[in-house]
């Protein structure tokens, strides 16, 4: 094998399917290429599961389901706790691998490795908090005994933008609840999910409890698994478009859908906001993951009285971010994940500019290899610009002005999405009043980040169904059973 700069980053990273505790190629030998977005070079390939492989993975998960469910909660918790520690210990290697296959700059990847590990720590603690309830029926006097049981096999489908954290956010609570899983990671980023497997094995996850099957044939493979009666939960993170298809597919066997879908987050700055804090929040809300996040601020509404002051400070910060290969020191903005994502950003900015927007900084993709796009600020964006309705999924901040509270609430809510909204004000009663009026599952009030394993993450409207993290995340993988007792 020739020495490439990738060899040491890829050393020891499995590239086959992981089914029933064994590594194997796809039944028909199919593979999918993995690309470095910084160079556009193919760095390796991974096995691409067939429908038969998906059936085998469900068989493997179902076979060990009862034994895993019967394990004492503390034992399941200890395994998850160990997995947390192993990911933390291996964080730097995982971070570099994420940067290699996703493009995001190392500080983002390091933050994700830590965030991903935290879902296992939280789930370890939740494993022993599956509480039931006993009460007396008001009329009959019978006892109402309620307990929660593992739902069964869970199919987990994850996106490329957080290749580690979206996997652990699902695997953690599923295993804590006593479910076994089949994970289908995104085709753009299969390596991170595969690299987690040896750590899970070392932590003591028994064969068959977690199965990982990358596949380019995602529709067929996931569709097949949803036909299997033993599959009881489909937990998906990705686009609303695909989520809708999966809700349809889940209907046939009445499989529980847990859907974390797209967003179109408004970022509101009132005239009484602390402008420095708002700029700080904007940097995180917009630039975490280079805008490739469902939580990314997609529309900025800044009160007319503070618009110029905010834009000046925000644009200066955006301008200072170094664009480059995410593996290099000092780089804050790596390449976007693929040509399609970069081209969409190019198109959305061109559309906004054609409709009158002014480019304050950025706005032009550099020539040469790599799916680069610089941190960009647009002002004077017109209401009909496409990027106010569509997820940008890139480092572009379109800014508009507003004058009063009712107006900005109406504009913020005028979307089919309802994942997250951000607002900045020094007046806490206004902050809470406006928060209540915003139709979003999560609100960042004077904060540019809401993600937290201890908080219920999820969206209203077409941003999703169900919640991940917190206690709610565990409950998604449990079925409630009630026994009516005479005693």
Token pair listed for 397 = 């901040």
Least distance in Å: CB of 123 to ligand NAP? Answer: 17
In contact, 122 and 453? CB cutoff 8 Å:
yes
Q: Give the max Cα distance, the chain.
A: 78
Indicate whether 394 belongs to the interface with ligand NAP (CB under 6 A). no
* C-alpha distances out from residue 4 to 9, 13, 37, 334, 365, Å: 10, 15, 16, 20, 27
User: Taking contact as CB under 6 A, which single stretch among the options 7-15, 117-125, 157-165, 280-288 is the one that binds ligand NAP?
Assistant: 157-165
Give the list of residues 6+ apart from residue 381 with CB closer than 8 angstroms, or none. Answer: 352, 355, 356, 357, 387, 388, 398, 399, 400
Q: Any catalytic annotation for residue 179? A: no
Query: Which one of the listed residues 101, 260, 280, 468 is annotated catalytic?
Result: 260
Token pair listed for 474 = 């565990």
Token pair listed for 426 = 């020094």
d(CA 180, CA 182): 7
In contact, 15 and 47? CB cutoff 8 Å:
yes
In contact, 412 and 421? CB cutoff 8 Å:
yes
Token pair listed for 296 = 């990314």
Least distance in Å: CB of 424 to ligand NAP? Answer: 23
Q: Any catalytic annotation for residue 416? A: no
| Identified binder of ligand NAP from the candidate list 181, 197, 285, 294, rule CB under 6 A | 294
Indicate whether 334 belongs to the interface with ligand NAP (CB under 6 A). no
Least distance in Å: CB of 46 to ligand NAP? Answer: 11
| Identified binder of ligand NAP from the candidate list 160, 270, 440, 477, rule CB under 6 A | 160
103 or 159: CB nearest ligand NAP:
159
Indicate whether 239 belongs to the interface with ligand NAP (CB under 6 A). yes
User: Taking contact as CB under 6 A, which single stretch among the options 62-70, 155-163, 367-375, 471-479 is the one that binds ligand NAP?
Assistant: 155-163
Indicate whether 473 belongs to the interface with ligand NAP (CB under 6 A). no
Indicate whether 94 belongs to the interface with ligand NAP (CB under 6 A). no
Output the DSSP codes for 58-117: HHHHHHHHHHHHHS-HHHHHHHHHHHHHHHHHTHHHHHHHHHHHH---HHHHHHHHHHHH
Which residues sit opposite 361 in a β-bridge?
Answer: 377
219 or 356: CB nearest ligand NAP:
219
Indicate whether 83 belongs to the interface with ligand NAP (CB under 6 A). no
> How many other C-beta atoms lie within 10 A of the C-beta of residue 275?
17
| Identified binder of ligand NAP from the candidate list 44, 99, 102, 218, rule CB under 6 A | 218
Indicate whether 264 belongs to the interface with ligand NAP (CB under 6 A). no
Indicate whether 430 belongs to the interface with ligand NAP (CB under 6 A). no
- Burial level of 387, CB count in 10 A (0-12/13-18/19+)? buried
Query: Which one of the listed residues 179, 224, 294, 468 is annotated catalytic?
Result: 294
User: Taking contact as CB under 6 A, which single stretch among the options 66-74, 77-85, 185-193, 370-378 is the one that binds ligand NAP?
Assistant: 185-193
56 or 156: CB nearest ligand NAP:
156
Residues that bind ligand NAP (rule: CB under 6 A) add up to a total of 28
Q: Any idea which residues carry the catalytic annotation?
A: 260, 294
Which residues of this chain interact with ligand NAP, rule CB under 6 A? 157-162, 184, 186-188, 216, 218-219, 222, 237-239, 242, 245-246, 260-263, 294, 391, 419, 464
């Amino acid at each position: 094998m020739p020495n490439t700069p990738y060899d040491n980053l890829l050393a020891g990273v499995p590239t086959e399917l992981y089914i029933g505790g064994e590594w194997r190629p796809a039944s028909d030998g199919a593979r999918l290429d993995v690309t470095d977005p910084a160079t556009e070079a193919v760095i390796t390939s991974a096995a691409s599961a067939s429908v038969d492989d998906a059936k085998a993975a469900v068989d493997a998960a179902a076979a060990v389901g009862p034994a895993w469910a019967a394990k004492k909660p503390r034992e399941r918790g200890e395994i998850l706790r160990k997995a947390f520690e192993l990911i933390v210990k291996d964080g730097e290697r995982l971070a570099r691998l994420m940067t290699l296959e996703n493009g995001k700059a190392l500080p983002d990847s390091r933050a994700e490795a830590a965030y991903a590990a935290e879902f296992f720590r939280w789930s370890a603690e939740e494993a022993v908090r599956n509480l039931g309830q006993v009460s007396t029926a008001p009329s009959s006097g019978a006892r109402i005994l309620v307990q929660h049981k593992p739902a069964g096999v869970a199919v987990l489908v994850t996106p490329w933008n957080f290749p580690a954290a979206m996997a652990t956010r699902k695997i953690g609570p599923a295993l804590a609840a006593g479910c076994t899983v089949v994970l289908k990671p995104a085709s753009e980023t299969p390596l991170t999910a595969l690299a987690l497997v040896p750590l899970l094995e070392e932590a003591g996850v028994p064969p068959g409890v977690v199965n990982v099957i990358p596949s380019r044939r995602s529709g067929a493979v996931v569709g097949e698994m949803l036909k299997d009666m033993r599959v009881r939960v489909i937990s998906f993170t990705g686009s609303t478009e695909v989520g809708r298809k999966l809700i349809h597919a889940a209907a046939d066997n009445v499989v529980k859908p847990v859907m974390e879908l797209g967003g179109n987050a408004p970022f509101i700055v009132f005239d009484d906001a602390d402008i420095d804090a708002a700029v700080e929040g904007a940097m995180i809300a917009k630039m975490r993951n280079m805008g490739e996040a469902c939580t990314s601020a997609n529309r900025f509404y800044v009160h007319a009285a503070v618009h110029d002051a905010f834009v000046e400070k925000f644009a200066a910060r955006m301008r200072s971010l170094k664009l480059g290969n995410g593996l290099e020191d000092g780089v804050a903005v790596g390449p976007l994940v693929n040509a399609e994502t970069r081209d969409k950003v190019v198109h959305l900015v061109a559309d906004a500019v054609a409709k009158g927007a002014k480019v304050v900084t950025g706005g032009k993709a550099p020539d040469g290899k790599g799916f680069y796009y610089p941190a960009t600020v647009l002002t004077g964006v017109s209401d009909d610009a496409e990027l106010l309705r569509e997820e940008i999924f890139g480092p572009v901040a379109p800014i508009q002005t507003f004058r009063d509270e009712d107006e900005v609430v109406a504009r913020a809510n005028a979307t089919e999405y309802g994942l997250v909204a951000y607002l900045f004000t020094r007046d806490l009663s206004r902050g809470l009043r406006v928060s209540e009026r915003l139709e979003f599952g999560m609100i960042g009030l004077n904060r540019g980040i809401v993600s937290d394993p201890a908080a219920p993450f999820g969206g209203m409207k077409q941003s999703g169904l169900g919640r991940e993290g917190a206690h709610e995340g565990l409950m998604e993988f449990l079925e409630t059973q009630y026994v009516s007792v005479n005693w």
